[in-house]
Amino acid sequence: MKKIILSILFIGMIEPLLLAEGTPRINFIQDSHDFGRVLQGKTVEYIFTFENRGTDDLLIKEVTTSCGCTAALLSANVIKPGETGQIKVSYDSQGRAGKVSRTINVVSNDPVEPIIELSIAAMVDSSMHTSFNINESIFSEKCSGCHFYPAIGKQGKELYDAVCTFCHGRTASGFDKLKIVPRDNIDRAIRSGLIGTEMPAWIKEFNGPLDVDQINSLISFIKGETG
């Protein structure tokens, strides 16, 4: 504990001196992300954003991951003072199951914190769809625990998180693909399903779990009209 306190005090004392002489300082808006539940086999993505709060160019020397299932893509190697950069991290859940965590090390020319460790986590649900028959409904008895009952009584974001994230994800890259789809197309797909895919008809009149109000609330959330 003493070593930690002394390290914090040292950084607090030396940082103003370094900045006065012109030095880069890396600062991440967020250094960890939890993807939540991920269906086995899906690849999910998250973008870590950082800023150069120093007075000289920030040079990102290296970005490494703790496992081959995780990849990191840097937006730029040199970030000028006051500017921001991004590291897009993707995680491939193929062959994984249960609670997983991975780390990403960012090495820079920041003299105070030359190595920053980022982390991602997920709960990977073992896939039950490897032998899925497109003529079989995800509302069948063996699948209803994940795809039918969790939708009952929910609206908007809560509804999306409960039953839509399995296939469509909760990350920006996956969610944004839905946002650009015309409202009528989304409504038609939710109500009637998509023939030849795993997407069933979700409305109650076709034996799904959703009523009209739930579908409308879901579409409003997807289109960014509600929080």
- Report residue 219 as tokens: 């579409």
Amino acid 96: pLDDT: 80
Let me know whether 156 and 87 are in one domain: no
Let me know whether 48 and 110 are in one domain: yes
Per-residue confidence band for 170, with pLDDT thresholds at 50, 70 and 90: low
Angle between helices 212-222 and 172-179 (to 10 degrees): 110
Residue-wise pLDDT tens digits, 31-72 = 999 998 887 878 899 999 999 999 999 999 999 998 888 899
User: Is the pLDDT assigned to residue 164 strictly greater than 90?
Assistant: no
pTM over cut 0.85: no
In a domain, 73, yes or no: yes
Number of Cβ atoms within 10 Å of the Cβ of 191: 16
Please state the rounded mean pLDDT for residues 203-226. 91
Amino acid 4: pLDDT: 47
Sign, CA dihedral 198-201-204-207, equals negative
Looking only at the bridges linking them, the beta strands covering 115-125 and 58-65 are unpaired
Residue-wise pLDDT tens digits, 102-131 = 999 999 999 999 999 999 999 888 755 555
140 φ, ψ (degrees, to nearest 5): -65, 170
Q: Which helix (H) or strand (E) holds 37?
A: strand 32-39
- Report residue 157 as tokens: 């974001």
In a domain, 208, yes or no: yes
Domain that holds residue 152: 144-222
Cα–Cα–Cα angle for 70, 67, 34, rounded to 5 degrees: 50
47 φ, ψ (degrees, to nearest 5): -110, 120
Amino acid 179: pLDDT: 80
